Amino acid sequence: MLLRALILGLLLLLASCAPSSGILAGGAWESTGLQREHIRALVANAADPAQLYAGDARDGIFASSDSGQHWLSRNQGLSLPLAVNALSFDASERRLYAATSRGVFVSSDGGGHWQTVNQGLPADSCTALAIDVERASVLYVGTAHHGVFVSSDGGEHWHAASQGLPANLPINDLAYVSDRGQLWAATVGGVYRSDNGGQSWRSLSRGLPAGITVYRVRPAALSGGDPNLVFAGSDQGIFLSHDNGASWQRNQEGLARVSVRAILVDFRSPTTIYLGTSIGVLRSNDSGQVWSAVLGGDLPRNRQVYALTLGASDYSQLYAAVDDVYIFPGSSGGWNTNAFAPLLLAVAFFALLYWLTRSNRRHRRGLLGVARPTARPGDQPPTQREEQEPQLPSALLPRQQEGPPSPDQR
C-alpha cells in the first residue's frame, strides 16, 4: 500500500510540475540579433512567419528573414529619425504598412522600399493601425491629436472618421473585427467602439477606473475566440469584458499596479493569451482568469514589454520587444529550471524506492529468522534441499536409482 501511495504521489507531482502545452512547453528566453535598439512594434509575415519586422522608436524598421537570428535595416524611403508605432500587413499579405511619427508608409517589396501615403492626413504622429481582413484596401489609422482616419483605397486617400470621439483624444490602439464591422479604439480616456466604420463612436468604459489610460484593446474574435470576450490593457492592469464591451472587470488576480502595453491572443488556441507588461511577459491558458510569468533565460525582469508576436516555422516561437527583441524558446534551449524540477523529483523518488525495497528485504529476513525453529541437541541440521522443498508423503517419493541422476532429475 505504501508503494502504491508513493507512485500515485509521484504522478501527481510530475503532473503539477509539467510545463504547459504549446510553444512554451520548454526552453528559455534568448536575445535575438537585434540589440541596443528601442523596438515598439513587431509583426510576422503570415505568408512566411520566418520573416519578421521590428519598428524602432527612432531608427526606423528592421527586418529578419531567418526567424530573428539576423536583422537588417530596411529604411529606404523613410525620413529618419522617426518613430515606428505600429506595423501591419494588409489582407493580401503583400503590402506592409507602418504608422510612424511622420505619417503612414507602405512597402510592397518586404520593406525594401517605402513610400508615403499621407494624402488627407494631418501633420501628426500616427499611433495605431487596423486593417479590414476581408477588404484589403480598407485601412484605419489613429493619431496622437486628431482622432481616427479611414482609407478605402489602400492608403492613397484618407478622411476623418472621428464623429463622437472627444477632440484631441490620443489614440493608442485600433482593432477592427471585419465580420461584425466593429472598430475598437484604446485611448487615454478609456475604450470606444464604432459599429459603422468610424462614422460614429460611443464610449464603452463602464467598470473602468476614472483617469485610466488604455494602451491596447483586443477582441478575442480577431483570433477566432469568444465573440463577446474583449481584453483591455492599461496603466492599471488588464481588464476583461464578457459582454462585448458593455462592462469591464479585472481578472481575479488584479494586476492593478502592472502596465499592460501588449496583448496577443494565440490564434491556434484562442483561450491562450499573452501580455506584455511592466514586469515581463505573462501567459493565461484560461482566457485571462489566471496568469503566470513566462520566466527563464535572458529576458530582463521588471522592464516594460512593448510588443509581442508569434513567428518562425509553424509559429513555434514567441517574440517580445523589451527595447531589444527576445525570443522564446531560444534556439539554444537555455537552462530551464521548470524542466529540471520533474527530473530531480523522479531521481529522488527512485532513490527512496530503492531504500524502501532494501529496508523491506532486511525486515523480511528478520521475520524469517524469528520464525525458524530453534535446533535441539541431537537434531541434524537440515540440508539445503530440505530447507527449500517441503516433505512429500512416502508414497509420492520417487524411487532411488543407482548412478548419477538424469538431467530431468537434477
Torsion of CA 108, 112, 118, 124, to 10 degrees: 140
C-alpha cell recorded at residue 196: 459603422
pLDDT of residue 224: 93
pLDDT of residue 406: 38
| Most distant CA pair in the chain, distance | 120
C-alpha cell recorded at residue 394: 512416502
Residue of 148, 146, 152 lying closest to 183 (CA atoms): 148
Amino acid at 254: G
Higher pLDDT, 410 or 85: 85
If pLDDT is split at 50, 70 and 90, which confidence band does 255 have?
confident
**Type and span of the H or E element at 387:** helix 384-388
pLDDT of residue 338: 42
The 10 Å CB-count burial string (b at 16+, else e) for 158-187 is bebbbeebeeebbbbbbbbbbeeebbbbbb
**Type and span of the H or E element at 354:** helix 337-371
Higher pLDDT, 344 or 161: 161
Tally of CB atoms within 10 A around 377:
4
Higher pLDDT, 43 or 343: 43
Sign of CA dihedral 293, 296, 301, 305: negative
pLDDT at 11 over 50: no
pLDDT at 264 over 90: yes
pLDDT of residue 136: 85
pLDDT of residue 251: 76
pLDDT of residue 336: 40
pLDDT at 168 over 70: yes
What CA–CA distance (Å, rounded) separates 26 from 18?
A: 9
pLDDT in tens, 274-297: 999 999 999 999 999 999 999 888
Mean pLDDT of the chain: 83
pLDDT of residue 386: 43
pLDDT of residue 349: 59
DSSP state string for 180-238: TTEEEEEETTEEEEESSTTSS-EE--TTSPTT--EEEEEEGGGGT--TT-EEEEETTEE
pLDDT at 152 over 70: yes
What CA–CA distance (Å, rounded) separates 193 from 228?
A: 14
The pTM is what? Answer: 0.76
What percent of the chain is predicted at pLDDT more than 90?
A: 67
Out of 11-15, 311-315, 331-335, 372-376, pick the least confident.
11-15
pLDDT of residue 408: 42
